Structure 1
Amino acid sequence: MAEQTETRVPTVIVDDVHIVYRVHGAGNSKGSATAALGRIISRKSSPNVRLVHAVRGVSFTTYRGEAVGLIGSNGSGKSTMLRAIAGLLPPESGRVYTDGQPSLLGVNAALMNDLTGERNVILGGLAMGMSQEEIRERYQGIVDFSGINEKGDFISLPMRTYSSGMAARLRFSIAAAKNHDVLMIDEALATGDRSFQRRSEARIRELRKEAGTVFLVSHNNKSIRDTCDRVLWLEKGELLMDGPTDDVLKAYEEASNK
């Protein structure tokens, strides 16, 4: 009898992706604002445009049930890669294919500072495609998970009164309340105390079982080790290594200590 092999379902295919930023500088000419306005009206390009090649020919495929860490030094292209997978940043060349709707969660994800935490939970849930009934059912769980009410009734206060850590925990809690086809987390676990990080890591493990693929960008190698079974190492926009978590982190840490 032939041995049956488990079918791996691709969730994200990144095929030879290049991403280039165009940085428009004022240059040394006088009256640069007027000159810029003139170029807009005449549809001429600026002579002072610097090209930043943020991602260089990156290719990989991820599969349902995987948790994939992205590591690398600052400016290596990790966050840019996530934005491309989320469809927020078109590649200069190459293609990104996703199975289902990718959701990007970052500590800078926009919530409305003048609204209460409660209203932001509702609006954030609606923005992710949850129904009002689903939001009502999950509302208390979101608040409890975030822990922002542990020292007072902060959920009824405007977001502008929150510390950066409280706001980041609430963002993560809103995003983690829904099962995602592809969930991308950018430094979200870097905020909060160890108790919240443990809850976050446990929730990511649940998401892996219930849904598709989780991507995690973090400078905290312990969070990567606790959460991910595969790691992509980017440097200067290039994919240096793709493999099991322990193997890639060991090579990365050895290179960092040189």
Structure 2
Amino acid sequence: MAVAEQQSVERTQRPSDTRVPTVIVDDVHIVYTVHGAGTGRGSATAALGRLLSRKSSPNVRRVHAVKGVSFTSYRGEAIGIIGSNGSGKSTILRAIAGLLPPERGKIYTDGQPSLLGVNAALMNDLTGERNVILGGLAMGMTQEEVRSRYQGIVDFSGINEKGDFISLPMRTYSSGMAARLRFSIAAAKNHDVLMIDEALATGDRAFQRRSEARIRELRKEAGTVFLVSHNNNSIRDTCDRVVWLEKGELLMDGPTDDVLKAYEDHTK
């Protein structure tokens, strides 16, 4: 067989992976430096002395929050991230978003990751209406896009179901109302990579169903969605893949039902 013919056969027989990577997390380690309170008088003088002598403070502690985690996400996937409190779930999302630099390892992203958490910043002294506009502009929408999507954002959030709350300052909202508005603003735009940190834990079941449906729409529109949640039902309804972190380490990465079963057996 000629060389050209042999290469053609090999290309035909070789399985092709047409999936497009969106996030590559390669052996990532993240370490927090925690500064404790000084004790005794003269602590400021002692601190200055340590700086001049380049000695570390006895009250500084290093916390190894993420330990050698590696995985790759692909366009069109919805990936749940689970684990007990303090396992590094929110930390890895913040690192993917570029908010935390890894101490070791690399993170590569295709497109701009957008992190949505229940603590996402909106302006408490401004009305919900102004926050929708500013939030949309901050995500890169044009003024025309914000105007055309404004009513859909308000309706999706359900803010006005019990009154004209959208015209009131954000400080008058309950935590659940504020979280619903944050999610609604972020979900109004198609994202290359959308990361949701516990956003579906707030709101009633009707809002959770709307949120889950919107995440499925985002997947169809070629985005990748990461969802951190302690609600396994939301993970099951939304995600087809789950990454399980525990004590900063990757314990399992696979199909949703397989990983959740192992996690639930582990936590019984």
Paired with 1:41 and 1:161, the residues of 2 have a C-alpha distance of 49
Paired with 1:31 and 1:67, the residues of 2 have a C-alpha distance of 53
Distance 1:229 1:46, change over 3 A: same
Once the two structures are superposed, residues 12-45 of structure 1 have per-residue CA deviations (whole angstroms, 9 ceiling, x without a partner) of: 0000000000001124343435544666688764
Q: Which moved more, 1:138-147 or 1:46-55?
A: 46-55
Q: Which moved more, 1:164-173 or 1:5-14?
A: 5-14
Secondary structure of the corresponding residue to residue 159 of structure 2: coil
Paired with 1:40 and 1:158, the residues of 2 have a C-alpha distance of 45
Within the candidate set 154, 173, 181, 1:162 is matched to 173
Within the candidate set 43, 59, 68, 2:54 is matched to 43
Secondary structure of the corresponding residue to residue 160 of structure 2: coil
- Structure 2: where are the runs of 5+ without partners? 1-15
Once the two structures are superposed, residues 224-258 of structure 1 have per-residue CA deviations (whole angstroms, 9 ceiling, x without a partner) of: 0000000000000000000000000000000xx44
Paired with 2:89 and 2:112, the residues of 1 have a C-alpha distance of 20
- 1:48 deviates by 1.9
Secondary structure of the corresponding residue to residue 175 of structure 1: helix
Secondary structure of the corresponding residue to residue 72 of structure 2: strand
- 1:106 deviates by 0.1
Within the candidate set 125, 128, 142, 2:139 is matched to 128
Once the two structures are superposed, residues 60-118 of structure 1 have per-residue CA deviations (whole angstroms, 9 ceiling, x without a partner) of: 00000000000000000000000000000000000000000000000010100000000
Paired with 2:155 and 2:51, the residues of 1 have a C-alpha distance of 50
Distance 1:230 1:42, change over 3 A: same
Task: State whether residues 145 and 199 of structure 1, in contact with CA within 8 Å, keep that contact through their aligned partners in structure 2.
Answer: yes
Distance 1:26 1:196, change over 3 A: same
| Aligned CA-pair RMSD | 1.6
Once the two structures are superposed, residues 191-229 of structure 1 have per-residue CA deviations (whole angstroms, 9 ceiling, x without a partner) of: 000000000000000000113210000000000000000
Task: State whether residues 146 and 196 of structure 1, in contact with CA within 8 Å, keep that contact through their aligned partners in structure 2.
Answer: yes
Secondary structure of the corresponding residue to residue 19 of structure 2: coil
Distance 1:194 1:58, change over 3 A: same
Task: State whether residues 183 and 213 of structure 1, in contact with CA within 8 Å, keep that contact through their aligned partners in structure 2.
Answer: yes
Distance 1:147 1:29, change over 3 A: same
Task: State whether residues 12 and 98 of structure 1, in contact with CA within 8 Å, keep that contact through their aligned partners in structure 2.
Answer: yes
Distance 1:128 1:38, change over 3 A: farther
Task: State whether residues 26 and 32 of structure 1, in contact with CA within 8 Å, keep that contact through their aligned partners in structure 2.
Answer: no
1:187 aligns with 198
Secondary structure of the corresponding residue to residue 44 of structure 1: coil
- The aligned length equals 252
- Report which of the two structures shows the higher radius of gyration computed on alpha carbons: 2
Q: Which moved more, 1:120-129 or 1:35-44?
A: 35-44
- 1:160 deviates by 0.2
TM-score normalized with structure 1 length: 0.94
Secondary structure of the corresponding residue to residue 28 of structure 1: coil
Distance 1:30 1:215, change over 3 A: same
TM-score normalized with structure 2 length: 0.90
Q: Which moved more, 1:168-177 or 1:36-45?
A: 36-45
Paired with 1:122 and 1:103, the residues of 2 have a C-alpha distance of 17
- 1:46 deviates by 2.5
Within the candidate set 83, 106, 116, 1:105 is matched to 116
Paired with 1:249 and 1:21, the residues of 2 have a C-alpha distance of 29
Residue 64, structure 1, aligned to residue 70, structure 2: no
Task: State whether residues 77 and 235 of structure 1, in contact with CA within 8 Å, keep that contact through their aligned partners in structure 2.
Answer: yes
1:9 aligns with 20
